[in-house]
Amino acid sequence: MLNIKLGESKIPCQANESVLDALLKANIQIPYGCQQGVCQSCLMRSLDTTPPVSAQAGLKDTLQKQNYFLACLCHPEQDMTIALPEQQGALLNASVIKKQLLTPEILRLVLQYDAPLTFFAGQFVNLQRFDGLMRSYSIANSPQQDKVLEFHIRRLPNGQFSNWVHDELEHGAQLTLTEAQGSCHYLPGRMEQPLLLIGTGSGLAPLYGIINDALAQGHTGAIHLYHGSRNHDGLYLVDEIRGLTKQFDNFNYTACLSGACIAEQAIEANYAQGRAHDLALNTIQNLKGWRIYLCGHPEMVNQSKRAAYIKGASLSDIYTDAFLVGNHNG
Amino acid sequence: MSETPETKSATLFEQLGGAGAVDAAVDIFYRKVLADYRINRFFDNVDMEKQAAKQKAFLTMAFGGPHNYTGEDMRKGHENLVRMGLDDSHFDAVMEHLGATLQELNVPQALIAQVAAIAESTRNDVLGR
Ligand SMILES: Cc1cc2nc3c(=O)[nH]c(=O)nc-3n(C[C@H](O)[C@H](O)[C@H](O)COP(=O)(O)OP(=O)(O)OC[C@H]3O[C@@H](n4cnc5c(N)ncnc54)[C@H](O)[C@@H]3O)c2cc1C
Ligand code: HEM
Ligand code: FES
């Protein structure tokens, strides 16, 4: 058994535990989210030893050099003295300017910020509540808009952050957010490349941003969006997106319902039947040369990534955002 | 250099085209493996980027390129798979995809045979016998 030193406390860390596990077991409050090395909200710094390389996966070179690491990925190889990062780099203040229900479960949250922030539509930021609770959300608007960020936040049963946003966060209230991260965004350059975007639930958020960005930048290749939900009331922004298909010849949209019993309204509304990724991947036979975006349910993202690759897409052309949900009480 | 490509001193790895050939082959090979229902269960639940990098290591080795794997490493590396039931039939399937990949890349038959011989020589280690 090894020991972790944080300030005055000495915390035991068992062989199979990560630093995050050990700190949580000792009831030490630190920010964390996905517990899988993606959101970087559990960033910490080692004050003595060099952290294991695997605990620095995905961190910027500059942070790696300063011995920063991700607590959820860090299985210490020796005793460590660690510290919480000093006021985590650039934390930005933002205030709530709009809350609107898009579906019974998904809320559109629009924040206004004042300091400079560079981002691409489709990247994510970590939002932080006054008490430090932090979660990742994808940016649904493109940077062409002025100093606002839009998010689509799905209410999870007993979810701490999502329920707070839905029920308690008020107009004008302040939040802090970290800089934008992630590589799931539009890249100008290969304007004629066909794009396939598949999202489930609030996985539409980054895709909606990416599509608006691509269209605003004059993408000429075909763009195919498949958005899936179990029930028809889980599909949202349908009219706006159908509007885009009328405006842009190269843009196609398929709204998909996977639920067993499909209401008459749904059939009338012209939704496709089946899971979004099944429909997309059965319709398009060859994905060689395509660029692919997969966002939402982690299962869907993994299955589709593999299927798209088998159908000819190259791994470097597949961008994913799995909405990993941490296990916050287990 | 004035030597012709047929020169006897060129290694198998060089004749195949070196690291560039491995890059070209890995894309085709890994796709075939994942699409094959007989063996793709062994490739479940692993990070695809990491997995592709491991297939690259596999191909470099089979192409006679530089590597540091010992027979013991091959044993250890496939130990879990043997526990999952890895046997000769799966090994044969991988050999099949290796040959088909090289054919698709128009590699001459004589070189394909040499690659197959190297891969074949690891059979007992890979299957933990
Ligand atoms: C890169 C990235 C991007 C993301 N983008 C988005 C996005 O755009 N939109 C979006 O809606 N989400 C997104 N997410 C997910 C988001 O970050 C949160 O994980 C999600 O909102 C849940 O947070 P929460 O605090 O509400 O739930 P948590 O409190 O973290 O709970 C998570 C789940 O655990 C369950 N749970 C809680 N307590 C227990 C218990 N005692 N026993 C068993 N289960 C329990 C809850 O019911 C809930 O389902 C993203 C995630 C990542 C990693
Ligand atoms: C033909 C002879 C084979 C050779 C020379 C070979 C070689 C290799 C090499 C070099 C690695 C990378 C090891 C590492 O760096 O960790 C590897 C990993 C792997 N091989 Fe093979 N292999 C062979 C056959 C097979 C077969 C028949 C299967 C299954 C059908 C298989 C499945 C795998 C898997 C799943 C991994 C990754 C394991 C992990 O993620 O740790 N291999 N192999
Ligand atoms: S990166 Fe550690 S909790 Fe998300």
pLDDT tens figures, B21-30? 998 999 999 9
For the segment A235-243, the average pLDDT, to the nearest whole number, is 96
- The number of distinct structural domains making up chain B is 1
In angstroms, the CA A51 to CA A184 distance is 27
Smallest Cβ–Cβ distance between A310 and the set B31, B49, B52 belongs to B31
A125 CA from centroid of ligand 3 (Å): 13
The H or E element that residue B118 is part of is helix B109-120
Does a structural domain hold residue B6? Answer: no
CATH number at residue B91: 1.10.490.10
What letter represents residue B73's amino acid? D
| Å between B45 CA and nearest CA of chain A | 9
- Ligand 3 atom 3: the closest Cα is on which residue? A35
Given a contact cutoff of 8 angstroms between Cβ atoms, the answer to whether A210 and A183 are in contact is no
Give the pLDDT band (50/70/90) at residue B53. confident
The rounded distance, in Å, linking the Cα atoms of A227 and A234 is 10
Question: What is the overall mean pLDDT for chain B?
Answer: 89
State the DSSP code for A8: T
Rounded to the nearest integer, the mean pLDDT of chain A is 91
pLDDT class of A328 with cuts at 50, 70, 90: low
What are the tokens at B1? 């250099």
Tokens of B12: 């198998």
pLDDT digits (tens, 9 = 90+) for A143-169: 877 899 999 999 999 999 999 999 999
Whether B10 is in a domain gets the answer no
Do strands A2-6 and A80-83 pair parallel, antiparallel, or not at all (unpaired)? Answer: parallel
- Please tell me whether the interface predicted TM-score (ipTM) of this complex is above 0.85: no
Residue A329 pLDDT class (50, 70, 90 cuts): low
Using the predicted structure, report yes or no on whether residue B3 has a pLDDT greater than 50: no
Residue whose C-alpha is closest to residue B97's, from B114, B73, B125, B119:
B119
End-to-end Cα distance, chain B: 45
B71 within domain boundaries = yes
Are the Cβ atoms of A309 and B48 closer than 8 angstroms? yes
Among A271-275, B47-51, B66-70, the range of highest mean pLDDT = A271-275
Determine the residue type at B66: P
Model confidence over B95-126: pLDDT tens digits?
Answer: 999 999 999 999 999 999 999 999 999 999 99
Work out the angle at residue A302's Cα, subtended by the Cα atoms of residues A301 and A307, and round it to the nearest 5 degrees: 100
Q: What is the pLDDT of residues A57-82, one digit of tens each?
A: 888 877 888 899 999 999 999 999 99
Poorest-confidence range of A105-109, A159-163, A284-288, A322-326? A322-326
Which residue among B63, B86, B126 has the greatest number of ligand 2 atoms within 8 angstroms of its CB, and so is best to mutate?
Answer: B126
pLDDT above 70 covers a percentage of chain A that reads 97
Per-residue confidence (pLDDT) for residue A261, from 0 to 100: 67
Domain-located, residue B1: no
Look at residue A118 and give its three-state secondary structure: coil
Cβ A139 vs Cβ A209: under 8 Å = yes
Mean pLDDT of A10-34: 91
| Ligand of minimum distance to the alpha carbon of A149 | 1
Q: Are residues A310 and B35, on separate chains, in Cβ contact within 8 Å?
A: yes
Residue B119 DSSP class: H
- Report how far residue A195's alpha carbon sits from residue A293's, in angstroms, rounded to the nearest whole number: 8
Distance CA A169, CA A35 (A): 25
Judge whether B7 lies within some domain: no
CA angle (B100, B102, B107) in 5-degree steps: 135
Of these ranges, A25-29, A33-37, A285-289, the one predicted with the greatest mean pLDDT is: A285-289
Nearest CA to ligand 2 atom 8: B58
pLDDT surpassing 60 at residue B47: yes
Backbone angles phi, psi at B114, to 5 degrees: -70, -40
What mean pLDDT comes out for the span A206-232?
95
How many interface pairs between A and B have CB atoms less than 8 angstroms apart? Answer: 14
Interchain contact, A314 vs B34, CB within 8 Å: no
Could you give the domains of chain A?
2-83 (3.10.20.30), 92-177 (2.40.30.10), 195-329 (3.40.50.80)
Is residue B2 domain-resident? no
Q: What is the DSSP string of A157-179?
A: TT-HHHHHHHHT--TT-EEEEPP
Evaluate if residue B127 carries a pLDDT over 80.
Answer: yes
pLDDT for residue A84 is more than 50: yes
pLDDT at residue A114, as a whole number: 85
Q: Is B33 in the pocket of ligand 2 (CB under 6 A)?
A: no
Distance CA A324, CA A209 (A): 20
Mutation pick from B48, B51, B104 vs chain A, by most beta carbons of A within 10 Å, is B48
How sure is the predictor about A309, in pLDDT bands with cuts at 50, 70 and 90? very high
Task: Ligand 3 pocket test: pick from A21, A24, A30, A41 the residue with the most ligand atoms within 8 Å of its Cβ.
Answer: A41
Q: Which of A162, A163, A293, A319 to mutate to test the pocket of ligand 1 (most atoms within 8 A of CB)?
A: A162
Q: Find, in chain B, the residue whose alpha carbon is nearest to that of A311.
A: B31
* More confident call, A178 vs A110: A110
Please give the pLDDT value at position B2.
45
Task: Specify the residue with its C-alpha closest to ligand 2, atom 15.
Answer: B54
Q: Is residue B21 a part of any domain in this protein?
A: yes
| pLDDT score recorded for residue A87 | 52
The partner residues of A92 in beta bridges, in order of sequence, read A177
- Tell me the pLDDT tens digit for each residue of A252-268: 999 999 987 666 777 77
Q: Which residues contact A60 (CB under 8 A, 6 or more apart)?
A: none
Residue A204 CB contacts under 8 Å (≥ 6 apart), including other chains: A140, A152, A227, A236, A237, A295, A296
By residue range, what is the domain housing residue B67? 15-38+47-126
Helix, coil or strand: residue A268: helix
Q: Is residue B79 part of a domain?
A: yes
User: Coil, strand, or helix at residue A266?
Assistant: helix
Q: Say whether pLDDT at A91 is over 60.
A: yes
